[in-house]
Structure 1
């Protein structure tokens, strides 16, 4: 479990993280979302003891991570896949980390196989593609078989097969009872992967809840209706304050429920061929709820 309590980080007159409090629990995949510059990477680095907080605490299973001498046995992390010595092979890189953390050498071969790099284990990392470096970074995180895992933008550079594999890996790790904390800007992937979300903006907490509950907070939910009497139904819905967009025989209705649309159609003997509810997407909810926390907008700087 990761616990962050009133965490604050200032750099001179700039506050990168402000009074941040949240808990990341085991047995589920928790997504960490926020606009660029929101403080996500700074928060992860404070959890890992790479940055000292100005105030507040960040603990892993009740202790600061820096207090653990063999860190990879307790927390696995991928922060920057490019931060490796290009002249080493993947096998040598992992073997050195295994020795320093008293991890059996057999784990090197196991994780290289697990991430799909067994065939490239003796090649120099400098010749790896970005996707291969991402896989190597994930191998490093898995090396100590830790109960807690943190990943910062782990999907960068991966092809569709790699993205699908990572999605399944995170699900598997969570099903094993591990704590899995994933920072990403790819909303579509978080929508398919995360169970819970931590959302921040300008260093402050915006939401800490299930993905379903967060998406439902967006206003993008709509009712789709197919009817040969679209004009009549649209007039009735508009009179009740709903917003209707027509595209042939398809009406997209916001501001009311599918139940109310059905009741109106029944009361006025309007034939319906289809009626479905389309929930707000995670991206829609994220854009709406973080709009006031975006540092850079096209054409302007806030």
Structure 2
């Protein structure tokens, strides 16, 4: 279990993380979400003792990670798959880590097989693709067979088969009763993998709740309408207070009115409808809506 209590990290007058309090429990895949610059990587680094908090605490199973002399037995982490000596082989890299953490060297072969790198284990890491380096990073996290695992953007560079493998791996690890904490910007993967979410923005907590509950907080349900008279229908819908966007020549996306009300308005004005479908809220919809005020960098921003 990971417990953060009023965790704060300041760089001068800037608070990268500000008063974060949350708990990551075993038996679940917990997604860690936030816009770019939200403080996710800084938080993960503080959990692993790589950055000192300005104030507050964070513990793993009741102790600071720095208080564990053989850390890989307790916590496995992948923060940057490229941060590894390119001149070593995967086997040599993992063997050094196993010996320094007093782990059985037999674990090296086990994790290489687990991540699918056995055939290339003696090749230099510098020649690996990004996807292969991600697999090596996951192997490193698994090396000590730890009860707590942290992964920062573990899907970068993986092909579709690799993404499916990681999804199954995380679910299996959680089913074994481990604590699995995953930071990712891929909403579709979090929707398919995570049970619980911790969401932050500008270093502060926005949500700490089950994925389904967070997704349901998105209020901007939209209705897709297809009609041969999109301009005429858009005009009357806007007069009724709806927001209307034209997606294709005959297709509108409408928010602010229910599909039933849109159908009634179209009938009243004798506008033919060819499609009327409600689009339910997704994780991405809820995330974009609930973090809108926490986005630090906006495309096209002229401020």
Once residues 4 and 282 of structure 1 are traced to their aligned partners in structure 2, the CA distance between those partners, rounded to angstroms, is 24
- Residues 267-300 of structure 1 show CA distances to partners (whole Å, capped at 9, x for unaligned) of xxxx999875422222222222222222221233
Residue number in structure 1 paired with 2:194: 194
Once residues 224 and 90 of structure 2 are traced to their aligned partners in structure 1, the CA distance between those partners, rounded to angstroms, is 52
> Which stretch of structure 1 is more off in the superposition, 284-293 or 121-130?
284-293
What TM-score, normalized to structure 2? Answer: 0.86
Residue number in structure 2 paired with 1:10: 10
- 3-state DSSP class of the match of 2:91? helix
Residue number in structure 2 paired with 1:130: 130
Contact kept? 1:48, 1:65, Cα under 8 Å: yes
Q: Specify whether residues 244 and 42 from structure 1 end up closer, same or farther in structure 2 by C-alpha distance, changes over 3 A only.
A: closer
Unmatched runs of 5 consecutive residues or more in structure 2: 267-271
- 3-state DSSP class of the match of 2:80? coil
Alpha-carbon distance, 1:264 to partner:
9.6
What TM-score, normalized to structure 1? Answer: 0.87
Unmatched runs of 5 consecutive residues or more in structure 1: 266-270
Contact kept? 1:29, 1:179, Cα under 8 Å: yes
Q: Specify whether residues 272 and 56 from structure 1 end up closer, same or farther in structure 2 by C-alpha distance, changes over 3 A only.
A: same
Q: Specify whether residues 226 and 15 from structure 1 end up closer, same or farther in structure 2 by C-alpha distance, changes over 3 A only.
A: closer
Contact kept? 1:75, 1:146, Cα under 8 Å: yes
- 3-state DSSP class of the match of 2:16? strand
Residue number in structure 2 paired with 1:268: none
- 3-state DSSP class of the match of 2:197? strand
Residue number in structure 1 paired with 2:296: 295
Q: Specify whether residues 157 and 234 from structure 1 end up closer, same or farther in structure 2 by C-alpha distance, changes over 3 A only.
A: closer
Aligned length: 302
Aligned ranges 1:215-294 → 2 under 5 Å: 215-223=215-223, 253-257=254-258, 277-294=278-295
Contact kept? 1:216, 1:279, Cα under 8 Å: no
Contact kept? 1:72, 1:143, Cα under 8 Å: yes
Alpha-carbon distance, 1:185 to partner:
1.2
Residue number in structure 2 paired with 1:98: 98
Residue number in structure 1 paired with 2:168: 168
Q: What value does the CA root-mean-square deviation take over the aligned residues?
A: 2.9
Once residues 6 and 15 of structure 1 are traced to their aligned partners in structure 2, the CA distance between those partners, rounded to angstroms, is 13
Residue number in structure 1 paired with 2:86: 86
Once residues 177 and 277 of structure 2 are traced to their aligned partners in structure 1, the CA distance between those partners, rounded to angstroms, is 36
Contact kept? 1:295, 1:301, Cα under 8 Å: no
Contact kept? 1:30, 1:198, Cα under 8 Å: yes
